[in-house]
Structure 1
Amino acid sequence: MAQTWYIASDTQLYVFSLMLLAIVWKYEKKAKIIFGSTVVIGLATLASIAFCKNYDIIIRQYPENLYNMNGIKLEIWHDLYSSGYSNITGYTIGLIFGYIFYKNRKKSIEITKIHVILWWFLSFGMCNFIILIAATMYRPNYQNSTLESALYWALGKNIFALGIAIGIYGFALKIGWFARWLCEWKAVRVIGRLTYSTYIVHSTVIRIRGGLIRSPLYVNDYLLISTVLGDIALSYLVGTLMCLLFEMPVSALQKLLIPTTEHNRLTNSLKKPLNSKEVHLENENQNVGTNV
């Protein structure tokens, strides 16, 4: 399935991240150099492939390309979008922010208005800019150079990944106002539980609708909006059934079949009843703490 391309890429990058973090753990003083070198290598790889193969600046969502995408026949898709090496930089950006959060988790960080304003510009502003700037590339008279294509392929989706990382890090620091409230809203959590199942089936829902059309349609804004809303509603309905009948039962079986981890063993040991000697020592400790 075209929408499951990321599973192989994510698996490769997960193994890669373990090796990268092992190196960072051993040479912690050179963490900046290690992370920085990885980001540069990822950017250079994308730019070199786009430049040498003279690829278009984006994968254009034209009918011909969409038809070929059903069979994953586009070479540019494999070289610059779905491969593990083409996503190294975005993955490393996530590791960097996770590393920063881990290192500063016990520190008190003062947040000023300037920080909040920068956060909005660097998260939502930067992500939307990268998406909207591609609209100019769909103009009939637009022609890009090979250098422009190399730069956009190297920077485009990685700037978007940087914006997402900044956004999540800001949420962790209690920044975000209504955006953070929306992400923590219980109703959104329910939808979030259904997201993966919906993601798996949504492409099939769209293709069935397209396959049932027997005559040309006059495309307008109203038709597009109503079609999109209908696809979303039907996809979530089918995704809900998928989640209830498959994902949740498999998740429950997985918890039963996988051996108990060390963390669970320690947690269970803490829940065991204390013997009389341990209770006596615990009472003494409580009395000392009360006196202090």
Structure 2
Amino acid sequence: MIFFFGTLLEQLSDGPNWIHAIQHHQTNARENWWKSLLFINNFSNSASFQTWFVAVDMQLFVFFLIILTFNAKYPQYKKFIYAIITAISILLPPLLANYYNLVYNTLVQSESLRYMEYQYIGYNVKVLYTIYSTVGIYLFGIITGEIYMEIKRRTNHKSFKGVFIYEIGWWILYVAVSILPSFKFKSVEDNPALSSLTSHILCNIWAVGYCILILGLTFKLGGIMRMGLSSAFAVKMSRIVYQLYLWHMAALYIIYGYIRQPLYSNDLHFNLRFILFQCVAWSLSFILTLIFEYPINKIFDILLNKENMIGSENSKSK
């Protein structure tokens, strides 16, 4: 992807807005490629701005590997450590936002793609694109896994399907977390600390809600939602969503790079562009999954199986 953004992307279109949309991505790919390889590109602009989370995800993985290892050796400190991590996730971002006087509001204008990173580079690098901004969400996922294993151990993976109170509770929670992102507090938008604090509190509440929903799905709650997510079609589509995450911005740039005339958007134009974007993004992700991800995974499977076979043969000889 870094090579694509640094060399090939500029050749795919030539509209009047094209150079303004992709120039900074090309520059970032050429100058900061080594940061992406080391998974530290969240500390500066990367080839495609959504890939900051790839770096953060790797950093969180390493961090929680250390935490879980420590908890396994000293389980008496686990609750205390989890409480400290949750407090850091909620309180540290607004404290930093207030210290640096950083306020983040989403731009909605024609040059958003060009200036979004640079307009809020201070907030992004110092607050949003950091592990302490998302460490609470990662922690809630780990706690959800621990709760699942404990319930499974105690109930022998009992199904709660058909139990009215659990079924209706799951759907009420689903509606609640679905509308939660629409909540905005305009009175605090100009206050760095309060705007960041409210956004991170809502984000952590949203994460806890979805963790509970996922936990419910594992015990067969959710009705038609669970049937859809576990269908053969959804399972197959899930195998290319990572490539979709990596390449959807490239598809968006390519589509809008061909615009020649002034853009007068209406509902029909927006919906048609959205459908076109989905077709291009999913097709590109499918092709790249077949060309790169599957063969690379197969090579790693062969190498790992070979090492396991060698290890088993050595153990048998001993």
Q: 1:12 aligns with which of 18, 38, 59?
A: 59
Cα deviation code 1:218-240 (max 9, x no counterpart):
11111111111110011111111
CA RMSD of aligned residues (A): 2.9
What is residue 120 of structure 1 aligned with on the other side? 171
- Cα offset for 1:171? 0.8
Q: 1:40 and 2:87 equivalent? A: yes
Gap change, CA 1:262 and 1:39, over 3 Å in 2: farther
In our comparison, the structure showing a higher alpha carbon Rg is 1
Task: Report the number of matched residues.
Answer: 263
What is residue 216 of structure 1 aligned with on the other side? 262
Q: Is the 8 A contact 1:24 1:30 kept in 2?
A: yes
Looking at structure 2, the residues matched to 65 and 150 of structure 1 have their Cα atoms a distance apart, in angstroms, of 21
Which amino acid is the alignment partner of residue 27 of structure 1? Y
What is residue 125 of structure 2 aligned with on the other side? 78
Q: Is the 8 A contact 1:51 1:149 kept in 2?
A: no
Describe how 1:176-195 pairs up with structure 2 within 5 A. Answer: 176-195=222-241
Describe how 1:136-215 pairs up with structure 2 within 5 A. Answer: 144-215=190-261
Gap change, CA 1:51 and 1:38, over 3 Å in 2: same
- 2:133 aligns to what SS in structure 1? helix
Looking at structure 2, the residues matched to 220 and 236 of structure 1 have their Cα atoms a distance apart, in angstroms, of 24
Which amino acid is the alignment partner of residue 167 of structure 1? L
Looking at structure 2, the residues matched to 55 and 212 of structure 1 have their Cα atoms a distance apart, in angstroms, of 35
Gap change, CA 1:263 and 1:40, over 3 Å in 2: farther
Return 5+ residue gaps in structure 2 as ranges: 1-47, 314-318
- 1:104 aligns to what SS in structure 2? helix
Q: 1:129 aligns with which of 172, 176, 179?
A: 179
- Cα offset for 1:261? 6.9
Q: Percent identity, aligned pairs only?
A: 24
Which amino acid is the alignment partner of residue 227 of structure 2? W
Gap change, CA 1:96 and 1:143, over 3 Å in 2: closer
- Cα offset for 1:71? 6.6
Gap change, CA 1:184 and 1:98, over 3 Å in 2: same
Q: Is the 8 A contact 1:42 1:87 kept in 2?
A: yes
- 1:175 aligns to what SS in structure 2? coil
Describe how 1:223-242 pairs up with structure 2 within 5 A. Answer: 223-242=269-288
Name whichever of 250-259 and 170-179 sits farther off: 250-259
Q: 2:144 aligns with which of 97, 103, 107?
A: 97
Q: 2:68 aligns with which of 12, 17, 21?
A: 21
Using the size of structure 1 for normalisation, the TM-score is: 0.79
- Cα offset for 1:142? 8.9
Cα deviation code 1:235-280 (max 9, x no counterpart):
11111111111111111111112355769978x9xxxxxxxxxxxx
- Cα offset for 1:64? 4.3
